[in-house]
Amino acid sequence: MKRVWLLSLGVIILLLAACTPAATPPVAEVVETEAAPVEEELTVLEIIGIDGTSEELTMSDIQAMEPDEGYAGIKSSTGEITPPATFKGVSLIRLAELVGPMEEGTGVNVVASDGYSITFSYNQLMNGDFIAYDPGTGDEKQEKPVLTPILAYEVDGADLDENRDGELRVAIISDEKNQVTDGHWSVKWVSKIEVRELTADWTVLLEGAINEEMDRATFESGAAPNCHQTIWVDEKNQEWIGIPLWLMVGRVDDEIKHDGPAFNDDLADAGYTVEVVAADGYSATFDSTRVKRNDNIIVAYLVNENPLDEDVFPLKLVGSDVSKKEAVGAIAEIKINFEGAVAEPTAEPTEAVVEEVTGPTLEGDLVIFGKVGEEMAFSVEDLKAIGDDTYTLEHPKKGAVDYNGVKVNDLLAMVAPAADATTMVLTASDGFSAEVDLSSLAGCDTCIIAFTDDGLMSALPGQESSAWVKFLSKIEIK
């Protein structure tokens, strides 16, 4: 009986234990903390379209795009070779197309954070139209490899050296390790790409101890803000941008083109002349002592940040030490004459130039002589006193243009051409001349001698463009 009682007591204890709730473990105190802010990735590249459309890209954005990879090296202006390395990035054309399709006549201006910039043409972007050199010899390759300009973010599998290259730089790549390109294309510290309409490519011949055909890109590279850019503001508050003439001369006055003492002071002191020649043969000649390290004689390629007008494109000589007659436009050649004499004329003298010796005996901004009742010389002020009206004239090439000037027939009436006179010879100060049939001017009330920034010019509607003579200084009646 006792055993049954004890057993019943054990069962009751077990049942009571099963109904007792388990002890609740202590709850840890929750301390609320602020989540660390996610750092926003910085923009590393801005792309601007022709219409002002813009895209801002981070490095992650760029690296997420389809990559281009290949070999690129450079040849410096002094001939030093940096051997090809492996670069990875995104082609310039693919980046440019983020703000609109590229078309012929457009290009891409690549801008570095320090202001240096250079422009790539449509043909360079699409077809890789660059000069390539053998990395072993430095000689130009006759068989051009397929070249692609890219904006690189890696070299040899690692990020670019930010101190040396920045986060982004241009590389002209090919599939094989057998080429280098001119160093001025390899812009470093790139921060902006601008899609813009382009003017035509051009070259200017530099002729001296050595010769060089300087292309647009090389000139623009030298005219960059952190390089040799020189700015001159004229009396009309127009801002001209270019490179001093003496630096252009320094590229070809001896065999040192760029680094070191590129401009040879000893040669300049010994004496030579520098002739700046336009595409139509007009020229101005400067003594070397005048050119020597003179930043006030400038070869300009922009005015008010725009390419030059068609009649003086691509380069014009400007500056506070340049007279109107020396302001050569449409520059095609810069030539050093080490003999010290004035450069030979580029064309045979015309009859009017030969007769100039025995022709007019008067002096003035414009002299009219020959078969006339009275030879007369006029200053610009004299001419403006006779007539200074505005005319809208149809230029044979430029279309409608406004000119201020004096009527040709008013001047002819003053000098009284002989009854048997048939021809008017218009001669510029550089010797260029053109002939016009006098009878074709009869009754022409809009045929004028125009006042331009460069001096006097014949503006003759209905005549060929050659009869619109700039820098006009003499009129001979024959």
Domain with CATH 3.90.420.10 in the chain: 43-197, 203-337, 351-477
H helices then E strands: how many in the chain? Answer: 11, 31
Going by CATH, does the domain composed of 43-197 fall within 3.90.420.10? Answer: yes
CATH of 203-337 among 3.40.630.30, 3.90.420.10, 3.90.330.10, 3.40.50.720 = 3.90.420.10
How big is the chain, counted in residues? 478
In this predicted model, what pLDDT tens digit does every residue of 412-456 receive, in sequence order? 999 999 989 999 999 877 667 788 999 899 889 999 999 987 789
**Among all chains, which residue has been given the structure tokens 């009309």?**
236
Q: Would you say 87 and 233 are in contact if contact means Cβ atoms under 8 Å apart?
A: no
CA distance linking residue 426 with residue 456, whole number of Å: 11
CA distance linking residue 147 with residue 68, whole number of Å: 11
Helix (H) or strand (E) holding 191: strand 190-197
CA distance linking residue 233 with residue 239, whole number of Å: 4
CATH superfamily assigned to domain 351-477: Oxidoreductase, molybdopterin-binding domain (3.90.420.10)
Does residue 300 have a pLDDT over 60?
yes
In this predicted model, what pLDDT tens digit does every residue of 197-209 receive, in sequence order? 876 778 899 999 9
Residue 221 has a pLDDT of 79
Cα 409 → chain centroid = 42
Q: Would you say 307 and 220 are in contact if contact means Cβ atoms under 8 Å apart?
A: no
CA distance linking residue 443 with residue 309, whole number of Å: 32
- Segment 286-291 mean pLDDT: 94
Does residue 402 have a pLDDT over 80?
yes
pTM: 0.50
CA distance linking residue 424 with residue 478, whole number of Å: 6
**Residues in CB range of 412: below 8 A, 6 or more apart:** 368, 441, 477
CA distance linking residue 368 with residue 425, whole number of Å: 10
Would you report the helix, strand and coil content of the chain in percent, each value rounded to 5? 20, 35, 45
In this predicted model, what pLDDT tens digit does every residue of 328-363 receive, in sequence order? 999 999 999 987 443 343 333 333 333 333 345 578
Supply 404's token pair.
């201020």
- Burial classification of residue 157, based on how many CB atoms lie within 10 Å of its CB (0-12 exposed, 13-18 middle, 19 or more buried): exposed
DSSP for 118-134 reads: EEEEHHHHHH----EE-
List strands edge to edge, sheet with 43-48.
54-58, 43-48, 190-197, 106-112, 117-121
- Segment 58-80 mean pLDDT: 91
Q: How confident is the model at residue 57 (pLDDT cuts 50, 70, 90)?
A: very high
CA distance linking residue 357 with residue 95, whole number of Å: 63
CA distance linking residue 160 with residue 166, whole number of Å: 7
In this predicted model, what pLDDT tens digit does every residue of 7-38 receive, in sequence order? 444 544 444 444 444 444 555 555 555 655 66
Q: Would you say 425 and 352 are in contact if contact means Cβ atoms under 8 Å apart?
A: yes
